[in-house]
Structure 1
């Protein structure tokens, strides 16, 4: 009982501390989600080491898995509430073409890599599909898609770990080397070509937890997200019942339907002005994604990782990351997209909105910050659907 209480405390306290100290140097490199996975794996590693020392000690896997499912399901709509997809109509043709080219590039490269490499891996279809969601909208899409396809906790953790390692290295490339190299290939940027009209989009990722305040509107938004989760879960259970109520198969129906449902509901909710402008939904949603990440990683059984295909995952996601960027660069050349626009829209898709401001600051082009944030929101909203759709085709032996 004491052990379970301590586990629950860690699941909710560690993510808070990560947000509280999000300006820590390692967190800036690997991201808050990366740090949540790191600390979760540290806990899992300690448990593994203790058992190796012939001291029997196990965490409650039910707490970890149930907590992670609940957290990601409620966190997704809270994050989507502030996405403000209506701002997409204010993007210039150049930005839309560049972000569209990125999506095409990710789909094209991920499909090729699946055909020639991924289909030979265990769960290669789902992992390739997750890459499509990941590189068009960010890590939350990866977690949603891998859960929708019912991958094991260890596999999801390894997929995230692969992305964290590759993402950190590639992000350094984007910060330090991308512009001088790409400036030699693409035309220079023009500051007046990114928005057709002034945008109200705010950087919802730029928050200070010290300024976080509870409010009646925030509590209402949380209840709305909770209701969306409950309704979606109920539909999943209903489908399971209609499919014959096979013992042990309920989660196979509940989790996919729930995650797809909350994504749809979250997008719908973002079009309501009161919900969209409620302060704090982004912080609360991000916190719950960290709870999911830590809870999932801490539930990993290291003994099951022996002989895993971690190296194959590094190769899979490494090729897709670099390949998508190269194809995107080629399409940008054909479509006459400028270098800064190409780099920022690539960042928005591959990493999500959180990493855009640092890139635009490095490029010394603040005019692309808001367009990059809008593209990141679009990718986050659409990436899960694109990934699931392609994943279903991959599973048919495409």
Structure 2
């Protein structure tokens, strides 16, 4: 029965991705959101067999360590140094804004929270990187499943309002305070950039063979990281494992044969979806609802507070409107939303720097989140 449960958790992401590919309204909702919904339903209707907790714990511990290398192998850190000065300044402003709002929110909204320093670390990882960093920091900081799910649910709620504001009126509003962006005619978009499904054909032989090599390499990275973790005390082992995985994966990304393996990021996201289904199935809905309000306030403070702070600093450093918006999108919403917002801004030249900023966020999110959590813990 437990073997069937493992196969069920591994199979649900295929269903989710198929639904996203087949139905536009499901795709707009997002694969991670659909995975969470299915997981919460499965975990709260009483159909899970006895002994499922052990399977769930094992799968949450394995999936994210496997996902991180796959998602980072295609990173081109050299692109960071090619960013225009204004884009690099905007990236630094965005990172500083998030850190300031997370730290200030820690003192405003966490009086009733247990181990609030963990929440601070989670939010840093989430809003400098994204869901993979949030999931990694859950393991690194030993965060309760319900706290993790409440945090991500609050992010989804605030993310809807944030993205709606950016798409509907962000450019008009921010251009009142910031220099207007100069867009070359060749970069002016008249159509959407978001029409291609990156998972399409991933199981075909031309992708499957090189992907299997990428997966084996990911397993080796995890194995080496686990081996190194035995050199430190037990309570620090998970943090060392995740930091070593991140560091080794980024080191391997400098090798062209590794960086050019196709679809590694998508395979990594598959494991993130597996993690999402499993961790959502471990959440108790009653506890979720009781804990949600304080976290929602904290998340709203970080999301919209960092946007306002970014606006003020961007005005000071003369960052243009479109660059400020795409930087905020890449950090707060993660790279997949960059083409969507670039299309709304009708500026194709934003796509590459926006994606680069988002990938930098993925790369540093674990480090920043863990470091800030430790600093808040010792405060």
State the TM-score, normalizing by the size of structure 2.
Answer: 0.91
Aligned match of 2:294 in 312, 333, 347? 312
Most deviating of 206-215 and 281-290: 206-215
Aligned match of 1:297 in 280, 299, 306? 280
Q: Kindly state the Cα deviation for residue 140 of structure 1 after the two structures are TM-superposed.
A: 1.1
Most deviating of 81-90 and 29-38: 29-38
Q: Aligned partners of 2:250 and 2:290: how far apart in 1?
A: 36
Aligned match of 2:313 in 315, 331, 343? 331
Q: Aligned pair 1:358/2:349, yes or no?
A: no
Contact 1:98 1:337 in 2 (8 A): yes
Unaligned runs of 5+ in 1: 51-55, 196-201, 244-249
Contact 1:44 1:302 in 2 (8 A): no
Q: Aligned pair 1:166/2:149, yes or no?
A: no
Q: Kindly state the Cα deviation for residue 44 of structure 1 after the two structures are TM-superposed.
A: 1.2
Alignment of 1:131-170 (within 5 A): 131-170=123-162
Q: Aligned pair 1:104/2:96, yes or no?
A: yes
Contact 1:212 1:280 in 2 (8 A): no
Q: Deviations over 1:43-75 (max 9, x none)?
A: 11212xx7xxxxx95460111121122111010
Q: Kindly state the Cα deviation for residue 255 of structure 1 after the two structures are TM-superposed.
A: 2.6
Cα pair distance change 1:77/1:260, threshold 3 Å: same
Which residue does 1:89 correspond to in 2? Answer: 81
Contact 1:7 1:59 in 2 (8 A): no
Aligned residues, how many? Answer: 368
Contact 2:154 2:295 in 1 (8 A): yes
Q: Aligned partners of 1:21 and 1:368: how far apart in 2?
A: 29
Q: Deviations over 1:152-209 (max 9, x none)?
A: 12211221111122112212222212112112221111236xx9xxxxxx99x95033
Q: Deviations over 1:288-339 (max 9, x none)?
A: 1111111111122446x17742111111111111100100011111111111
State the TM-score, normalizing by the size of structure 1.
Answer: 0.87
SS for the counterpart of 1:190 is: coil
Aligned match of 2:223 in 195, 211, 230? 230
SS for the counterpart of 1:184 is: coil
Q: Deviations over 1:198-231 (max 9, x none)?
A: xxxx99x950333543444322221111011112
Which residue does 1:16 correspond to in 2? Answer: 14
Which residue does 1:247 correspond to in 2? Answer: none
Q: Aligned partners of 2:178 and 2:163: how far apart in 1?
A: 20
Which residue does 2:57 correspond to in 1? Answer: 65
SS for the counterpart of 1:309 is: helix
Alignment of 1:119-130 (within 5 A): 120-130=112-122
Unaligned runs of 5+ in 2: 188-192
Q: Kindly state the Cα deviation for residue 254 of structure 1 after the two structures are TM-superposed.
A: 3.7
Q: Deviations over 1:106-164 (max 9, x none)?
A: 01111111123235521211111211111111111111112211111221122111112
Q: Aligned partners of 2:197 and 2:356: how far apart in 1?
A: 14
Contact 1:65 1:299 in 2 (8 A): no
Q: Aligned pair 1:209/2:207, yes or no?
A: no
Q: Aligned partners of 2:166 and 2:54: how far apart in 1?
A: 40
Alignment of 1:235-246 (within 5 A): 235-239=228-232, 243=233
Most deviating of 156-165 and 347-356: 156-165
SS for the counterpart of 1:209 is: coil
Q: Deviations over 1:344-386 (max 9, x none)?
A: 0100011211110000001100110011000001111011111
Q: Aligned partners of 2:41 and 2:339: how far apart in 1?
A: 30
Q: Aligned partners of 2:49 and 2:210: how far apart in 1?
A: 43
SS for the counterpart of 2:30 is: helix
Most deviating of 314-323 and 23-32: 23-32
Aligned match of 2:239 in 256, 280, 285? 256
Q: Aligned pair 1:288/2:271, yes or no?
A: yes
Which residue does 1:246 correspond to in 2? Answer: none
Q: Kindly state the Cα deviation for residue 102 of structure 1 after the two structures are TM-superposed.
A: 0.3
SS for the counterpart of 2:338 is: helix
